[in-house]
Amino acid sequence: MTPREDHATRVREHTVTARPWLCPEVAMRLITHECPLWYRSEDDVHAMGWETPFWAFAWPGGQSLARYLLDNPAHVAGKTVLDFGAGGAVEGIAAKMAGARRVIAADIDPVAAVAMEVNAALNGVALEVTTDDLIGHDDPAWDVVLAGDMFYDAELSARVLDWLAALARRGVTVLLGDPGRGNIPEERVEPVAWYEAPFDTDVRGLHLRKTLIGKVIL
């Protein structure tokens, strides 16, 4: 069995097909209360040879971005979209469902890359998947860049925002989703929508948090 086949088998074994609370149009393989892995420690997960499975949760910023694109498809219809730090790619899948011509989903975790492909197949869409670290890179094909829940660390947030602002300066539409983690200076983002989204690993909509959809400005 190849590493990719092993990752795909594990993704299916340790998750269930579920629909994120805020965007039920999208089906994903998620870790929920039905899964034994939900009750295991982080050390147990690492003993399996996995990094922490961030890809197995539909985080609030990603769910909110997905909802926004499904409700406002003109932002991505016919365009090439980069889903940066995609995890399970809820926003990338939503972009494709909303009519994007091409979606590149990027995450440095190789298990996340396989999970994206599994999730895309569940929804009958095609994503291009990469594990390259794209911070600081540019591709003239990118029309829209999505960044959901990427602002959880102050140092990383500063690097990502500088990069995204550079993309915005050349005309890329950059949309981010963030549930108020405190690492985005207000002057760098123009709010375009707000959602009440389940916070972090809440898969049942029990703990909602105000979540920003913002456009990165110069």
State the average pLDDT over residues 162-190: 96
pLDDT of 5 strictly over 90: no
For residue 93, the model assigns a pLDDT of 98
Assigned token pair, 138: 């540019």
Place of tokens 């147990």: 44
Output the pLDDT for position 21. 97
Under the banding of pLDDT at 50, 70 and 90, the label for residue 125 is very high
Q: With cut-offs at 50, 70 and 90, classify the pLDDT of residue 49.
A: confident
Distances (CA, A) of 123 to 62, 75, 90: 16, 20, 10
Q: Identify the domain containing residue 203 by its residue range.
A: 3-216
What's the CATH number where 203 sits?
3.40.50.150
Whether the per-residue pLDDT at 143 is higher than 90: the answer is yes
Question: Rounded mean pLDDT of 89-98?
Answer: 98
Single-letter residue type at 40: R
Q: Contact 10/50 with Cβ under 8 angstroms?
A: yes
Q: Which two tokens stand for residue 122?
A: 């569940």
For residue 1, pLDDT beyond 90: no
Please answer whether residues 148 and 112 qualify as being in contact, where contact means their C-beta atoms are separated by less than 8 angstroms.
no
Q: d(Cα 206, Cα 198) in Å, to the nearest integer?
A: 7
Distance, CA of 12 to CA of 101 (rounded, Å): 28
pLDDT category of residue 4 using cuts at 50, 70 and 90: confident
d(CA 182, CA 126): 34
- What total number of domains does the chain contain? 1
Residue 183 pLDDT greater than 90, yes or no: yes
Is it the case that residue 152 has pLDDT exceeding 90? yes
State the burial class of residue 25 (Cβ atoms within 10 Å of its Cβ: 0-12, 13-18, 19+): middle
Q: Which residues pair with 104 in a beta bridge?
A: 82, 128
